[in-house]
Amino acid sequence: MVRVGVIGTGMIGQDHIRRMTQVLAGVRVAAVTDVDASVAAAVAEKVGATAHATGEDLVADPEVDAIVVCSWGPTHEQYVLASIAAGKPVFCEKPLATTQEACLRIVEAEVAHGSRLVQVGYMRRYDAAYRALKKVVDSGELGAPLMMHCAHRNASVPPHYTKDMAITDTAVHEIDMVRWMFGEEIAAARVLVPRRSANGGELQDPLFLVLEMASGALVDVEISVNIRYGYDIRGEVVGESGTAALGELSPISVRAAGRFATPVPLDWRERFLAAYDVEFQEWIASIAGGGAPVGPSAWDGYAAAVVSDAAVAALDSGDRVAVVLAEKPKLYLEATS
Amino acid sequence: MVRVGVIGTGMIGQDHIRRMTQVLAGVRVAAVTDVDASVAAAVAEKVGATAHATGEDLVADPEVDAIVVCSWGPTHEQYVLASIAAGKPVFCEKPLATTQEACLRIVEAEVAHGSRLVQVGYMRRYDAAYRALKKVVDSGELGAPLMMHCAHRNASVPPHYTKDMAITDTAVHEIDMVRWMFGEEIAAARVLVPRRSANGGELQDPLFLVLEMASGALVDVEISVNIRYGYDIRGEVVGESGTAALGELSPISVRAAGRFATPVPLDWRERFLAAYDVEFQEWIASIAGGGAPVGPSAWDGYAAAVVSDAAVAALDSGDRVAVVLAEKPKLYLEATS
Amino acid sequence: MVRVGVIGTGMIGQDHIRRMTQVLAGVRVAAVTDVDASVAAAVAEKVGATAHATGEDLVADPEVDAIVVCSWGPTHEQYVLASIAAGKPVFCEKPLATTQEACLRIVEAEVAHGSRLVQVGYMRRYDAAYRALKKVVDSGELGAPLMMHCAHRNASVPPHYTKDMAITDTAVHEIDMVRWMFGEEIAAARVLVPRRSANGGELQDPLFLVLEMASGALVDVEISVNIRYGYDIRGEVVGESGTAALGELSPISVRAAGRFATPVPLDWRERFLAAYDVEFQEWIASIAGGGAPVGPSAWDGYAAAVVSDAAVAALDSGDRVAVVLAEKPKLYLEATS
Amino acid sequence: MVRVGVIGTGMIGQDHIRRMTQVLAGVRVAAVTDVDASVAAAVAEKVGATAHATGEDLVADPEVDAIVVCSWGPTHEQYVLASIAAGKPVFCEKPLATTQEACLRIVEAEVAHGSRLVQVGYMRRYDAAYRALKKVVDSGELGAPLMMHCAHRNASVPPHYTKDMAITDTAVHEIDMVRWMFGEEIAAARVLVPRRSANGGELQDPLFLVLEMASGALVDVEISVNIRYGYDIRGEVVGESGTAALGELSPISVRAAGRFATPVPLDWRERFLAAYDVEFQEWIASIAGGGAPVGPSAWDGYAAAVVSDAAVAALDSGDRVAVVLAEKPKLYLEATS
């Protein structure tokens, strides 16, 4: 039974607490903390956990075997570093940290520690459809992968959503996913700017992100965040002799009112609910009994940050921007799952 | 250039005249006639054809090489027999005649003539989807065909539509189609009666027709004639090791308003438009230069009538009713296309 | 934490033990027993449970809050009755018992107890696709349901599989599912016998089961158990104004070698894996804290047995056989989930 | 009856002759000519046409009402100009001419003539799927069109195929199609170069063409010409509130050997056969009785040439290349069909 401490009991934190108490085997929420102590106290009481005043206290709690960080982004670095310092496994929701420099500090701290402790919450790697897609790509059935066409569509975004967030909040999922799907780094980014949708007001939406992989493979991502009709995540890998794509995924189809139709998910919760369960299930299994996590690593979090920075620069300049990564430490040479 | 005389210039007759004058090569409408002489005269003037007072006059016209019968069902027998007597190819819209006895008289007249002259208007055999389905079945890829599941769905039917017409007007298309698809006769019919749809008022709708083929293969046909959502024709052949089905057939798909959808045809005209063109094109090609038709034969028209009678009897009695056919003349031993 | 005792540690029992120890929250396997005591001992040691000599001992164990029965079918009755006698919730894998009389004895025992304790393992009610289908049917969007077309296809069956098992082992899943989907009892059964597949040797395969619901709705089930191409479960509900069907469900599609293809599951494990997890998760949630199960009831198990008997009689006789149920006790008047 | 003269009786010319003699109504092949006089003579005899020594003789023949140009590309300009000089409608297979300057000379000649005579053979505008797609786009159902994702995939290309031909021979169909689909000109082109497929040897394949429309809408085209699995043409228009895409188009689906599959066409003949028929049928209908063609115009042919030149320059330079068109004459201000 892994005893987990959760830092940050907002919407996502509470959802992970529900997952660890009501859904999954082998785990118990032993401690919580939040910037709002009254929320932390209420949650703690509900699940029978200890409420701590600070994240550092929670990390230090001997009843806590592993940490889940769901707090505000700018605080991620300090809690992940504290967990590493304590030698405890830490699952950090994306982003790993809010700057590539901070991500690199985490990488360096983990390298200094000497073994993996950090896992970053890129849940697409746990989605059944992406996993089936990767299995076909890895089988060689399509020949070498040459391109991937993606679309990331949201029905709508809140008013505070900015142009940069289309990269850093939205397409960052594709950025992590293609590194994993292709098993290689991203070498450069461009962003092309299509005609603007009136649905988003002044926001530049959609965007068209083009990523060059180290092998030369090209990945294009349509990012449409006010498309109204639903939440739709699509991806097709084009190989030398065939292609493979995410399926339509609807459990049913309906023939009514002149059409043969399948429903589209309303939002990401509906689309990726099962992926979050699998993500935590595998994380818990990997660290139970003192093991190291095998999911997205601190390096993956760092690389996503560097590529996001390049893509934002590309969006601002209109140019192709190269991705410049630090040298990859040996600790991360094995592929993550 | 085949010179055709058209008996009956109602809706279907005029559509075939349009087809033979504006769409297809190798054919000319030379003469027309109709029970309403003024309609015939108007049509004749429009396409530069001769208007005849009677069908018999039209058949006798030396400028007429072949006859198309689109008149009221009860008159089919006399015009088809007249065409056979004149030794001219005749395309007769379904039904070949309104009783199985009349159909058999046509078969006997054609046999006495000694070669095929008659083709019956079962256009499904010319539909690209049914043809592709038959090609897979005939390839043996699925093993022996054991079952076929069909649905014949109309958005609505007119008020004069009766329960029997679900067999004689609607399912008769499936009756002809499965004889052709399986390459064998139907041995017996049953009709099961589901809960009644309120959409059809007092009409018993839907019905569930089950046909036994000579080989023992079973064919089921859902007949729903007031299903509102569109015109939908479905069919799946179940073989020993696989199945093949009619596709969704929509040229496009639309993602909007929460769904991924393809449109369903409104009516049979939309669904089978191209099949009528191919039917006539192949009929004309077969008889050009004095050849014999190779499409659905007088025997096929007779067999459809006998099976329809059995199915109506099964509907009335609730029992399994055997299909009893006359001996098949040698003239019809080759498969029709 | 619900403490469960498992009677029967064969393949299915061990799979449920894995589910309760490695996958799901809120449950612990406290005790096991098996006809083969050495197997029980080995399993007990692995999961830290007590091994009992008999099912009765296990039921009596004060450390056991609830029982899961996965033993040989003929023993189900005694263990379920023992659980009821002990006033403990019991989950019984299908069938509830091997005769309708035995099922009725269980119903009567539970009624005498005065509240629900028994749940039967019909897992299709927990499948996401069937649930989405039922939601559409219940919404009234299609009008009243009039028919349902089903197919239950297995790639192959073992040599000891008999004709009756196509009903009692295979189609029994559809028998339970349609009672739940339509929210009403089955009134009669027929079995039509198609041409036999050579894939099954002497076995009569496929069969075509037709069920009449109390409302008059008709349900047809193609049962093909040697169809080679995969495990394929299909269902389409036909309403007055539209239809809804189970989707294709594949997470991906592949374009290669001349075709656009989605994989078909190999077997029922692959198709219904998630449904088993949900089934247990909801069962545990319902009984935690002393609640009553809300899933398939003893009455559902009894009704499935009576319908199966009628369908087997229909298969043997070729006739329509009416389903005659005992009067339904008030305990079961609320719909089960 | 339109009397057509065909210049060039190679593969495409003979296919159009077959179409005009065996398939379509209202047209007759009155004359032919070819650089190989013996081929022309043989074809002429077969269809009862006059064989002319030169294209100019054929254009001048008073028995020829309209001309179809299917000769070698470099000869298109002279025959189209000769037809315009003679005041006769001319259908010219793509390209209209082999340079943008030659295309502009044709435009100017037609403008001097004062009414449309020229139609260019871009047959996609006659494809049922593209037409249905345009109908949805034009309906406004999706909001303003912002992007279009296309793929143009060939199973293989012959050894003489060069990198430029991916633009000038292959993607030129998309270039014409999107001008028509969006109802506006293309403003600029880029070509991105993905990792190279080993299937094409030294040939750079695939390519990724990005077109900017005058409105700012972006169109991307994956061009893969050695993808082995079949001929696959895909297109999805992304609007402000939804998307619409070409359908899968297969008439059937097959469940066999572990998969649910629909066949992919082998080549463009199979995919666009019906579009050629409709193209000619509508062209003939438009010019019968002295009318003007309404299909792709000389301006469309010119614009396609200018965009192709820009795209080839973009491919060579790696840069964004603006499309610079002459001023559009009033003659072409109405949209072509």
Count of H-run helices and E-run strands, chain B:
10, 15
Q: Does any CB of chain D come closer than 8 Å to the CB of residue B136?
A: yes
Q: Quote the pLDDT of residue A289.
A: 86
Find chain B residues with C-beta within 8 A of D284's C-beta: none
Structure tokens at C180: 């739940």
- In angstroms, what separates the C-alpha of C67 from chain A's closest C-alpha? 19
- A174 φ/ψ angles, rounded to the nearest 5 degrees: -70, -35
Q: What is the pLDDT of residues A121-143, one digit of tens each?
A: 999 999 999 999 999 999 999 99
**Averaged over A310-330, what is the pLDDT?**
98
Higher-confidence residue of A174 and D335: namely: A174
Residues B184 and B260 reside in one and the same domain: yes
Q: Is the dihedral of CA A68, A72, A73, A77 positive or negative?
A: negative
Q: Quote the pLDDT of residue A337.
A: 67
Chain-chain contact of D128 with B251 (C-beta, under 8 angstroms): yes
Chain-chain contact of A208 with D215 (C-beta, under 8 angstroms): no
Find chain C residues with C-beta within 8 A of B320's C-beta: none
Is the model's pLDDT at B87 over the cut of 70? Answer: yes
The answer to whether position B114 is within a domain reads yes
Is the model's pLDDT at D336 over the cut of 80? Answer: no
The answer to whether position D331 is within a domain reads no
Find chain D residues with C-beta within 8 A of C230's C-beta: 255, 258-259
Q: Quote the pLDDT of residue A335.
A: 66
The residues near B185 (Cβ < 8 Å, ≥ 6 apart) are: B179, B213, B214, B303, B323, B325
Does this model's pTM top 0.95? My answer is yes
The single-letter DSSP state of residue C63 is: T
The answer to whether position C333 is within a domain reads no
The answer to whether position A328 is within a domain reads no
Residues B174 and B234 reside in one and the same domain: yes
Q: Taking CB atoms and an 8 Å cut-off, how many pairs form between chains B and C?
A: 108
**Averaged over D108-130, what is the pLDDT?**
98
Reference B144, options B244, B240, B243; nearest CA is B240
Chain-chain contact of A194 with D217 (C-beta, under 8 angstroms): yes
**Averaged over A71-83, what is the pLDDT?**
98
Share of chain D above pLDDT 70, in %: 99
The answer to whether position A335 is within a domain reads no
Chain-chain contact of A232 with B250 (C-beta, under 8 angstroms): no
Residue of B150, B190, B197 to mutate, interface with C, max C Cβ within 10 Å: B197
Find chain B residues with C-beta within 8 A of C229's C-beta: 241-243
CA C180 to chain CA mean position, Å: 12
Q: Quote the pLDDT of residue B214.
A: 98
The answer to whether position D330 is within a domain reads no
- In angstroms, what separates the C-alpha of C150 from chain B's closest C-alpha? 10
Kindly identify which residue of chain D lies nearest to residue B27, measuring between CA atoms.
Answer: D25
- Answer whether D49's CB lies under 8 Å from D43's CB: yes
Place of tokens 């035995």: C102
DSSP string for B298-318: HHHHHHHHHHHHHHHHHHHHS
Residues D39 and D29 reside in one and the same domain: yes
Chain-chain contact of D240 with A228 (C-beta, under 8 angstroms): yes
Q: What is the pLDDT of residues B263-313, one digit of tens each?
A: 999 999 999 999 999 999 999 999 998 999 999 999 999 999 999 999 999
The residues near D85 (Cβ < 8 Å, ≥ 6 apart) are: D109
Q: Does any CB of chain A come closer than 8 Å to the CB of residue C243?
A: yes
- The span from the CA of C172 to the CA of A12, in Å, is 42
Residues B174 and B255 reside in one and the same domain: yes
- The domain boundary, picked from B254, B271, B288, lies at B271
Residues A152 and A291 reside in one and the same domain: no
Segment 309-328 of chain C within 8 Å of chain D by CB: none
Chain-chain contact of D255 with C262 (C-beta, under 8 angstroms): no
Residues A189 and A316 reside in one and the same domain: yes
Q: Quote the pLDDT of residue A334.
A: 77
Find chain D residues with C-beta within 8 A of B254's C-beta: 136, 141-142, 242-245
Write a three-state SS string for chain A: CEEEEEECCCHHHHHHHHHHHHHECCEEEEEEECCCHHHHHHHHHHHCCEECCCHHHHHHCCCCCEEEECCCHHHHHHHHHHHHHHCCCEEECCCCCCCHHHHHHHHHHHHHHCCCCEEECCHHHHCHHHHHHHHHHHHCCCCCEEEEEEEEECCCCCCCCCCCHHHHHHHHHHHHHHHHHHCCCEEEEEEECCCCCHHHCCCCCCEEEEEEECCCCEEEEEEECCCCCCCEEEEEEEECCEEEEECCCCCEEEEECCEEEEECCCCHHHHHHHHHHHHHHHHHHHHHHHCCCCCCCHHHHHHHHHHHHHHHHHHHHCCCEECCCCCCCHHHCCCCC
The answer to whether position C89 is within a domain reads yes
- Answer whether D287's CB lies under 8 Å from B290's CB: no
The single-letter DSSP state of residue C159 is: T
Q: Does any CB of chain D come closer than 8 Å to the CB of residue A204?
A: no
Q: Does any CB of chain B come closer than 8 Å to the CB of residue C266?
A: no
Q: Quote the pLDDT of residue B289.
A: 86
We report the CATH number of the domain holding residue B66 as 3.40.50.720
Q: Quote the pLDDT of residue B248.
A: 84
The answer to whether position B311 is within a domain reads no
Residue of B252, B259, B278 to mutate, interface with D, max D Cβ within 10 Å: B252
Residue of B195, B237, B243 to mutate, interface with C, max C Cβ within 10 Å: B195
Chain-chain contact of D262 with C257 (C-beta, under 8 angstroms): no
Side chain identity at A51, as an amino acid letter? A
Q: Does any CB of chain C come closer than 8 Å to the CB of residue D222?
A: no
Which among D25, D141, D248 is the nearest to B25, CB-wise? D25
Is the model's pLDDT at B337 over the cut of 70? Answer: no
Residues B252 and B139 reside in one and the same domain: yes
Kindly identify which residue of chain B lies nearest to residue C218, measuring between CA atoms.
Answer: B194
- The domain boundary, picked from B250, B271, B292, lies at B271
Q: Report the Cα–Cα distance between both ends of chain C, in Å, rounded.
A: 23
- The domain boundary, picked from B230, B248, B271, lies at B271
Q: Quote the pLDDT of residue D289.
A: 86
Range of the domain at A9: 2-124+275-296
Structure tokens at A181: 């799907």
Residues D219 and D293 reside in one and the same domain: no
Q: What is the pLDDT of residues D212-241, one digit of tens each?
A: 999 999 999 999 999 999 999 999 999 999
Is the model's pLDDT at B335 over the cut of 90? Answer: no
- In angstroms, what separates the C-alpha of C309 from chain A's closest C-alpha? 31
List chains adjacent to chain A, taking adjacency as at least 3 C-beta pairs closer than 8 Å.
Answer: B, C, D
Is the model's pLDDT at D9 over the cut of 80? Answer: yes
Which among D244, D253, D254 is the nearest to B254, CB-wise? D244
Q: Tell me, what's the ipTM?
A: 0.96
- The span from the CA of D234 to the CA of D177, in Å, is 12
Chain-chain contact of A264 with B262 (C-beta, under 8 angstroms): no
Per-residue pLDDT 10s for chain C (337 aa) are 999 999 999 999 999 999 999 999 999 999 999 999 999 999 999 999 999 999 999 999 999 999 999 999 999 999 999 999 999 999 999 999 999 999 999 999 999 999 999 999 999 999 999 999 999 999 999 999 999 999 999 999 999 999 999 999 999 999 999 999 999 999 999 999 999 999 999 999 999 999 999 999 999 999 999 999 999 999 999 999 999 999 988 899 999 999 999 999 999 999 999 999 999 999 999 999 899 999 999 999 999 999 999 999 999 999 999 999 999 999 999 767 6
Residues B130 and B238 reside in one and the same domain: yes
Chain-chain contact of A252 with C247 (C-beta, under 8 angstroms): yes
Q: What is the pLDDT of residues B102-128, one digit of tens each?
A: 999 999 999 999 999 999 999 999 999
Residues C171 and C35 reside in one and the same domain: no
The single-letter DSSP state of residue D20 is: I
Strand ranges, E, within chain D: 2-7, 27-33, 50-51, 66-69, 90-92, 118-120, 145-153, 186-192, 207-213, 218-224, 232-239, 242-246, 252-256, 259-263, 321-322
- Answer whether C143's CB lies under 8 Å from B198's CB: yes
Beta bridge partners of D186: D213
Is the model's pLDDT at B249 over the cut of 90? Answer: no
Q: Does any CB of chain B come closer than 8 Å to the CB of residue D257?
A: yes
- The span from the CA of D145 to the CA of D148, in Å, is 8
Interior CA angle at A105 toward A103 and A110, to 5°? 95
- The span from the CA of C34 to the CA of C40, in Å, is 5
Chain-chain contact of D149 with A147 (C-beta, under 8 angstroms): no
What is the tally of structural domains in chain D? 2
List chains adjacent to chain B, taking adjacency as at least 3 C-beta pairs closer than 8 Å.
Answer: A, C, D
We report the CATH number of the domain holding residue D252 as 3.30.360.10
Residues C87 and C170 reside in one and the same domain: no
Residues C240 and C279 reside in one and the same domain: no
**Averaged over D142-151, what is the pLDDT?**
98
Q: Does any CB of chain B come closer than 8 Å to the CB of residue A249?
A: no
**Averaged over D168-176, what is the pLDDT?**
98
